[in-house]
Amino acid sequence: MRIELLTCGVLLLALSAPGSYAQISVCGVAPLNTKTRIVGGQDATAGAWPWQVSLFKGGHFCGGSLINSQWVLTAAHCFPSTSTANLIVYLGRHTQKIQNPNEVSSTVSQIIKHPNYDSQTNDNDITLLQLSSPVTFTNYITPICLAASGSYFPAGLDSWVTGWGYIRSDVPLPSPQALQEVNVPIMSNYQCMADYSPDPITSNMICAGLPQGGKDSCQGDSGGPLVAKNVTRWVQAGIVGFGNGCAQPNFPGVYTRVSMYQSWINSQITGDQPGYINYGTDSKSAAHVISLSVPLLLSVLLSLLVLL
């Protein structure tokens, strides 16, 4: 009987584990996405990217990604002002012009820009938005998993970027009604630095695109997610940042590298932390499992000592 009671206590503790342990069970799952245009992309199906959000101030101006029930990740350059007045976040949205039966909207209680954001170099281009109240997860509204510190996204890896931005850089209007998606390969920072020289590409950035151009994010996509699939879950590698035009040859899109900001994100968010996946090699994945298990194991052992 003593053993049975202890087992039940351990099970309850594991099920109620806070922070990223709780979010891992729901993040990065897109039940309506069957995939294993943005410039050169195509219309996404409704619910394919359930973490995608649309930011509104009189109209759509930037994208973002839901990272837990009350926080959105986006770009700092989307917010020259941190006033929340008239700012609305749409979640579960598919089209911009007609009714979206699966969407909800939320106001924002605070905007937290990275203190070291540099508008001249685009370094640390990351911002957090706290929704005024938590949202309920559905097939059309779920959080994305974030790339954990130390994640590795190799050159050539398939990634996807989504948004409602311009679909041609030379003819910027009209923007698309339906959410757009485009598949772009990760590019090495070494190649990206060569392409953008002498402008700096820092270790806080990650690049994606084709050498010949033709596929890219564009104005209006800023703040949205660049994601890659890790077996069964989608992981956010980047935040849409900047580029030289859109889809130009030898100028890939440049994104904020999410894995560089795990500590900062955690230090700003109260309550449940986002779910993190250590994307990369098997050894890195194993390290991720250990990082989840050790804190939980320590909690279990502490619980056992109390019960004894």
Q: What pLDDT shows up at residue 77?
A: 96
- Tell me how far apart the alpha carbons of residues 126 and 157 are, in angstroms, rounded to a whole number: 23
pLDDT of residue 18: 41
Residues 41, 181: contact at Cβ < 8 Å?
yes
Coil/strand/helix, residue 61: strand
Nearest-10 Cα torsion for 22, 287, 295, 137? -10
262-280 pLDDT, tens digit per residue, is 999 999 998 889 999 999 8
The whole-number mean pLDDT for each consecutive block of 10 residues of the chain, a chain of 308 residues, reads 32 36 77 60 79 94 96 97 96 88 96 97 97 96 97 95 73 66 93 94 95 67 93 95 78 95 96 92 40 40 46
Q: How far apart are CA 225 and CA 235, in angstroms?
A: 9
Question: What pLDDT, in 10s, does the model give residues 204-226?
Answer: 999 999 887 666 567 668 999 99
Fill in the DSSP letter of residue 270: -
Query: Residue 272: which of 14, 15, 17 has the closest Cα?
Result: 17
pTM: 0.81
- H/E stretch holding 206: strand 205-208
- What is the spatial distance between Cα 88 and Cα 109, in angstroms, rounded to a whole number? 10
Structure tokens at 111: 């905007």
> What is the set of active-site residues?
77, 125, 222
Reduced to 3 states (helix: H, G, I; strand: E, B; else coil), residue 235 is strand
Contact 85, 35 (CB under 8 A): no
151 CB-near residues (< 8 Å, 6+ apart): 235, 237, 259, 277, 278, 279, 280, 284
